[in-house]
Structures are given as C-alpha cells and as structure tokens.
Amino acid sequence: MIEKEVKIVVEQPPINQLKELLDRDLKFLNIEHQEDIYFNFIYRNFKMSDEAVRIRINDKGIELTYKGPKFNSSLKAREEITISVNDLDKTIHFLDRLGFYPVITIKKTRINYLDDSFLISLDLVDNLGQFIEIEAIHEIEDEKIHTYVNDFIRKYKIRGKLTTKSYLELLIEKNEKNSSSNSNTY
Amino acid sequence: MIEKEVKIVVEQPPINQLKELLDRDLKFLNIEHQEDIYFNFIYRNFKMSDEAVRIRINDKGIELTYKGPKFNSSLKAREEITISVNDLDKTIHFLDRLGFYPVITIKKTRINYLDDSFLISLDLVDNLGQFIEIEAIHEIEDEKIHTYVNDFIRKYKIRGKLTTKSYLELLIEKNEKNSSSNSNTY
C-alpha cells in the first residue's frame, strides 16, 4: 500500500493544549505506545536507498514493516508493507541471519484522531520532540491533502515546519549534530 | 533452535501398510497438508550457502522460516528460525522488496506420530515420493538418534536409503535430471 502523509514539527502550541482542542473537535481513536527498531542491511545501505525495515512493538502486538523509497517531494509518500509476527526475538534473529542489523530504537506515544478521510496523530517522540502526522486513509490527490493540512495549521494556530523526513532520519540527524557539537568543545 | 533429523527415502513397505503399523504402535498426532514456497536471495545464492528461506502454508496458518547451513554430515542438523505471520501475499511482497525470489513450491501430506522423544513424520511429497522423517524433539546426542533410527528401520522392515538432503534439494535434483534426460531424447 502507498502511504501518503504530512509531518509537522510542532513548536507551538504545547502538545497538551493542542490535545484539548483536538479532543473537542475530532473523533478520538486511541493512545498507542510504540517502540520501533530500525534495521540496516549489509547488502544495501538503506540510508542511501531511502528504504527501511522496522519492527514495531505496540499494545496490539509486533509488526514487521518494509518501507520503500519516498517518491514524492511535497508529501511523504512511500510504499509500506506490514505483516504481523508472533515473536520479537525470533524476528530479530531471522533478520540477523539474512544481513539486517539494528541501528536505532525510537520510542513514542501516539494519540490518534479521525477526521473524515484523515488520520491525525499527535506524536511525542523520545529525545526528539512533538509532531503531528496527517495521513490520508484512502487514495486521495496530493492537492486535497495540502489543502486540509493548511486549514488544519491555520485553525489550530500551529507554529512549526513541515518535513518529509522520517523520525529515523530526524533522530540520526540530531545524533550526528550532537556528536559533532560535542567534538567541537574538545 | 537446532533441528536434528534423519530422513529416509522409503521404497518398501508401501506407505499405507507402514501407516497401519505406526497407527498400532505409536501415538498419532495429526495429518497436515503443507505447501512450502522456497526462496532464493539475489545477494547470496542459497544453493551454494546451503541456506533456505521458506513460507509454509498449512492448516494452522502461515510460517516464515530461515534454515541455516547443515553442520553435521551424519544427521540433517541445522539452525531453524520460524515466525508466524498473518498474511501470505504481504509476506511474499516483503521478501520480494528485499531481494528474495520464489524458486519452487513443494506440497506434501504429513502424518505425524510421537514416540517418546521422537517425532515421526510420514511424508507424501508431490512429484517426489514417500519419506519418513525422524526428529529429536529435545537436545539429544547424535548416537541415540542413530540407534533409534536403526531400530526403527529393522522393526518396520523398511527398505530404502538415508539422505541428509532436503526436499528442496531432492526436487531440484530430480527436475535437473528430468530436463537433462528429456534433452537426450532430442
């Protein structure tokens, strides 16, 4: 399936305030606690190929996902293939034997809302910050997603910026920045 | 987990006759209908590396298995890692994106019996023939497995031969033989 989404790095308002507004306006779905283990591949550098293999552990179970390269610059649109698996350790071993190795684990709390054709997720990502992801749940033209996002940003007076980067990319960037600023102090 | 097993290519007695004897002597477990799709890997030729990736569809569900190289010549002993997955098509797509492609599908009917520490499987493999697999269900010395197998062969007057080859290897061998004998008739 092709996933199309927009990610907003939220500076203002604070997430609690935003949560109150969304609780009032939208259909609350659920709160998820997600732990995502991202893997790289000895045969193909996923950072270069813009792919990802991820194990997600959440309240519902364990999922194994392949994400293809992003193929649209204005939206974060990419192929996603997700299968449910029954055993975390065995899945990690299975991947290990075939050349996949874990690179980073990302933990987040995700609060999900539904607004007609859009899934709105308020994400609190450990060591990274607060974000909103807006995802079309059906096939939809990019233009309509942009219109919805612009209205959303105006309505809730959000200050921040859009990004097409994944949490994996943002966290790796942040870690690299920290380690280079650390080395500057030497 | 390390799987240790012995496979017998059964020539005599006919499988129905053998089934009657085992029904009498052993604890019948179940009959399984298994469809196994074997994959090769663009980055590592599994025929050379003696590995396998397999999707098994049976009455219980769908399993994804990695089999490591055999590391014992007298027994068929190898690492096996199996996870349960929820969706056949998505699992095939997931594998495809990472460089795995299907090479052969093997269908068999497997009749399982338990005899203390051993799992006895009577296998009827489509386009290949009839086999017995004897597998230790706990850690056990190779010697004890051999003793058990020899006693088993004597007791049931089995004519045939032992093999450490997998059904995948046997079927590929047979297909290669057929295609070369076919070409001889040209």
- pLDDT tens-place string over residues A55-112: 999 988 999 999 999 886 677 788 999 999 999 999 999 999 999 999 999 999 999 9
Judged against a pLDDT cut of 90, whether residue A128 lies above it is answered with yes
- Could you tell me the two tokens for B151? 């006693």
Q: Which domain holds residue B155?
A: 2-183
**Among all residues of A, which ones are annotated catalytic?**
38
Chain A residues touching B64 at Cβ < 8 A = 85, 94
- We report the CATH number of the domain holding residue A97 as 2.40.320.10
In terms of Cα–Cα distance, which of B66, B132, B16 is closest to A99?
Answer: B66
Judged against a pLDDT cut of 80, whether residue B183 lies above it is answered with no
In terms of Cα–Cα distance, which of B104, B106, B124, B112 is closest to B5?
Answer: B112
d(CA B57, CA B2): 22
How many other CB atoms are found less than 10 A from the CB of residue A142?
A: 14
pLDDT of residue A184: 47
pLDDT of residue B73: 62
Contact B83/A68, CB-based, under 8 Å?
no
- Contact yes or no for A119/A135 (Cβ under 8 A): yes
Judged against a pLDDT cut of 90, whether residue A1 lies above it is answered with no
Contact A86/B84, CB-based, under 8 Å?
yes
Query: Model's pTM, two decimal places?
Result: 0.88
A17-21, B64-68, B117-121, B136-140, range with the lowest pLDDT: B136-140
pLDDT of residue A71: 81
Chain B residues touching A68 at Cβ < 8 A = 97
Domain total of chain A: 1
Whether residue B38 lies in the annotated active site: yes
- pLDDT tens-place string over residues A5-48: 899 999 999 988 999 999 999 999 999 999 999 999 999 999 99
A38-47, A138-147, B9-18, B67-76, range with the lowest pLDDT: B67-76
- Contact yes or no for B131/B10 (Cβ under 8 A): yes
In terms of Cα–Cα distance, which of B58, B53, B8 is closest to B31?
Answer: B58
The residue with greater pLDDT, B180 or A166, is A166
Q: What mean pLDDT comes out for the span B76-80?
A: 87
Residue with tokens 């056990």: B140
A106-110, A144-148, B79-83, range with the lowest pLDDT: A144-148
Nearest to B97 among A66, A91, A98 (CB): A66
**Maximum CA extent, chain A:** 53
Judged against a pLDDT cut of 50, whether residue B82 lies above it is answered with yes
Q: What mean pLDDT comes out for the span B97-108?
A: 97
Judged against a pLDDT cut of 50, whether residue B186 lies above it is answered with no
Chain A residues touching B57 at Cβ < 8 A = none
d(CA A160, CA A53): 28
Contact A97/B81, CB-based, under 8 Å?
yes
State the nearest Cα–Cα gap between B141 and chain A, in angstroms: 25
- Could you tell me the two tokens for A19? 């949560």
Interface test with B, best of A83, A92, A101 (most B CBs within 10 A): A83
Q: Classify each residue of B52-61 as buried b or exposed e, where b means 16 or more C-beta atoms within 10 Å of its C-beta.
A: bbbbbbeeee
Question: Parallel, antiparallel, or unpaired for β A100-115 and A76-85?
Answer: unpaired
Judged against a pLDDT cut of 70, whether residue A181 lies above it is answered with no
Quick one: pLDDT band at residue A186, thresholds 50, 70, 90? Answer: very low
| Residue in chain B nearest A86 by alpha carbon | B84
Quick one: pLDDT band at residue A182, thresholds 50, 70, 90? Answer: low
The residue with greater pLDDT, A14 or B89, is B89
